[in-house]
Amino acid sequence: MKKIGELLVEQGKVSERDVERTLLAQSEMGDMFGQVLIKLGLVSELDFAQVLSQQLDIPLYAAGDYPEEPLALDGLALDFLFSNSVVPIKADAEHIHFAAAVPQDAFLSKALSMALDKPVTIALGLESDINRALQLYLQAGEEGEAGDIDDQFGGQSDDEFIEHLRDLASEAPVIRLVNQIIHRAVDLSASDIHIEPFEDGLHLRYRVDGVLQEHQDAPPPNLSAAIASRIKLLSHMNIAEQRLPQDGRIMTRVKGHELDLRVSTIPTVHGESIVMRVLDRESIRLSLADMGFSEDTLGRYRELLARPHGVLLVTGPTGSGKTTTLYASLASLDSSHLKIITVEDPVEYQLQGVNQIQVQSQIELTFARALRSILRQDPDIIMIGEMRDTETAQIGVQSALTGHLVLSTLHTNTAAGAITRLEDMGVERYLITSSVNGVLAQRLVRTLCSQCKQRVTLSPEAIKSSGIAPFLAAGQNEVYQAAGCAHCMETGYSGRTSIHELFQLDEDIHRVIMSGADATLLHAAARRQGMITLYEDGLRKVAAGLTSMEEVLRVTQDQSDDLRKEDAAAVELATDQALTV
C-alpha cells in the first residue's frame, strides 16, 4: 500500500516539499499526518478524505448521507462518540453503519461491535460533517432532560440549593454539556472559553485566533448554576463559594490532545462568569524558527540570547505569545551544559532539562522570594515569568549584573516603553544601561486562509500612504485580503503568526536613556538606529502574502497612525538632539 503522502503528490494535491514540511510539523505537534496537513492549509479536508478513501479502499460519506434525526442505539455512550469522532449512519438487519474520522482504528471497530453485540461497518466521514451530526444528539439530550433538571430546584432553600449542586454536577446532562463545550474548543482551536450569564441567558463565546466568536448553541439558562458547579468540581474549587473570585486548573485529554485548562470564576450580577484558558500541550511550537520571526530580527535576537549576562525582555499585552517566545528561547539553548531555572505563575509547559518553579502566593512563595533563593543555586540563565513589582525588577537587574542572563516579560505597548516602565518601577537609569541588552515587543496577527484569500491591487496612493513600498518586490503592487469560506468558518483567517519589534541597547541608546528621554524619543532613536517597528514588520508579512493590511492595522493601529503622520525631518531632529546630550 502506498503511503498517503505519495498518493497526494501523485494526484497533484501537494508537493514533495509540502510533505516534508508536514512531517517536520507532525514531529512537533503530535497529530496525525492528515490533521497536520489540513491545519497547515496545504490541502482541504475534502481533498485529503478523498485520497484517504482511495488508499483504505473504503467509501466516503457525503454530507447528505447523514440522518436528519439522531439514530438511537442502546448501550452506546454519547461521550464515546464525541471522543472518537464517530457517528451512526443507519442500521439494518445485519449491520450498523458508522462514519468515523479515523475508520482504520482497529480499537474503534472492536469497541463498537462489543458494545452493541452486533457487527458494525465503519466508513470514512469528514470530521466537520461528523461533528454536525453529533450536535443533533446533544440537542436532543438537552431538550429531553433540561426540564427535569429545572424542576429539581423547585421549593429549595439557598442552603439546600448549594448542597444539591454537588449531586447535580455529576449528572449525565451536565457532564455531557461541559464535555461538549471543551471538545468544541479543541475543534475550533480556541485559546479561551467564555461562559457568561446575562439577563437574556447564558452566552458561550470562544476566542479563536485572538478574536472572540459567539457560539449560537449556548447552554440553557436554567443550567447556569449546574455548569458552574461541574467546572468547579473538575478544577478543585470551593463549590459552595459563589460570592468571591476563584482560580483552578483542569488536566484532561480530549480527542488525543493533552489539555491544561486554567479556570477563573468571578461573580457578576447575573451569576458566575467563567473563563477557561485552553493550553494544548501537543500543539505548542517550541522552535524560534517557527515563531514568525523575520530573518534579520531572528538573527539579532539569537545574538542577544547568546550573551553570557544581561536582561532580555519580551513585551506585549496579555495573549500576545510572550511566554511561548520565552519557552522557545529556552528550548533553543543547550540545557545539558547550562543551569536554567525559571520562576513562573503558572508553569504552562514543562521543559526538558529546565528547573521550573511555580509561584505560590498562599505560602508566600513570590517571584522576589524565589529569585533570592535561586541565586544560591548557581544558575547560568534565569527566566522570570513576569516583572510585576519593584522588588522583582531590582533583583532581576542585580542578577544580570552579577553574571546571569535574565529573561522576563513586561506589559508595555512598545519595546521602548519597557525602559520607562523599568524607571517607573524604581530601577535607576544607570542600572538599566548597565544590565538591559534588548527588548522584544511582540503581537500576534491572524494569517490568511490559504483556501480563500484573494488578490487585491494597491493603488500608488495606497502604497505610499501605508508605508509598504520598501517591503514590496520590484514591480509588485498586489497583496492578499481575507474572503471567507467553510474551511475558516467565514472569517478569512486560519492560524496566527507573530510580528516583532527588537530594540537593542547600544552606546548611543545608553546616552539617550541617561539624558532622561521619554518613550517617544527612545522610539525615535531606535528607529534611527535601524529598528523595524511592529507595524513595519506587519507590512513585511502583508507583502509576503501571510496576512492582510486590515489585520495588521487592527493589531497595530496606534503605530500605523504615528508612522503615517510622522514627519521624517522631525524624527531626525529629535534623535540628533537626544544623541548630542
- Structural domains in the chain, CATH included, are 4-138 (3.30.300.160), 173-280 (3.30.450.90), 288-575 (3.40.50.300)
d(CA 46, CA 8): 12
C-alpha distances in angstroms, 379 versus 362, 376, 506? 26, 8, 26
Q: Give 273-294 pLDDT, tens digit per residue.
A: 999 998 876 666 678 888 889 9
According to the model, what pLDDT value does residue 567 have? 39
Predicted pLDDT of residue 410: 92
Q: Which amino acid is at 214?
A: E
Specify the pLDDT at position 568: 41
Model confidence pLDDT, tens digit, residues 391-443? 899 999 999 999 999 999 998 888 999 999 999 999 999 999 999 999 999 99
Q: Tell me the average pLDDT across 181-204.
A: 88
C-alpha–C-alpha distance, residues 533 and 563, integer Å = 9
- Report the candidate in 434, 451, 444, 466 with the shortest Cα–Cα distance to residue 543: 466
Tell me which of 304-313, 478-487, 541-550, 559-568 is least confident. 559-568
Instruction: Answer for the pair 122, 59: CB distance below 8 angstroms, yes or no.
Output: no
Residue 534 confidence (pLDDT) above 80: yes
Rg (CA), the chain: 27
| Separation of alpha carbons 165 and 145, rounded Å | 16
pLDDT in tens, 153-172: 444 444 555 555 566 566 66
CA distances from 204 to 130, 143, 245, 576 (A): 21, 18, 19, 53
- For residue 71, the 8-state DSSP code is -
Query: Distance between CA 306 and CA 216 in Å, rounded?
Result: 49
| Separation of alpha carbons 180 and 170, rounded Å | 15
Rounded to whole angstroms, the Cα distance separating 278 from 393 reads: 29
Whether the Cβ atoms of residue 543 and residue 471 lie closer than 8 Å to each other: yes
Q: Higher-confidence residue: 362 or 530?
A: 530
Q: Which of 67-71, 229-233, 442-446, 576-580 has the highest mean pLDDT?
A: 442-446
Mean residue pLDDT across the chain: 83
Residue 552: how many CB atoms within 10 A of its CB? 27
| 134: its cell numbers | 453529533
Q: Taking the alpha carbons of 47, 48, 54, 59 in that order, is the dihedral positive or negative?
A: negative
- The string of pLDDT tens digits covering residues 23-77 is 877 776 666 788 777 777 777 888 888 888 888 888 898 888 888 887 777 777 7
Q: How far is CA 117 from CA 35, 83, 92, 98, 111, in A?
A: 32, 21, 14, 15, 10
Locus of grid cell 490533521: 35
Distance, CA of 153 to CA of 226 (rounded, Å): 11
Within a 10 A sphere around the Cβ of 11, how many other Cβ atoms? 12
Q: Which three cell numbers stand for residue 483?
A: 474572503
The answer to which of 271-285, 300-314, 487-501 has the lowest mean pLDDT is: 271-285
Cis-peptide into 67, omega within 30 deg? no
The pairing of beta strand 355-358 with beta strand 454-457: unpaired
pLDDT of residue 436: 95
In three-state secondary structure terms, 184 is: helix
**What is d(CA 384, CA 264) in angstroms, rounded to the nearest whole number?**
23
| 222, pLDDT greater than 90 | no
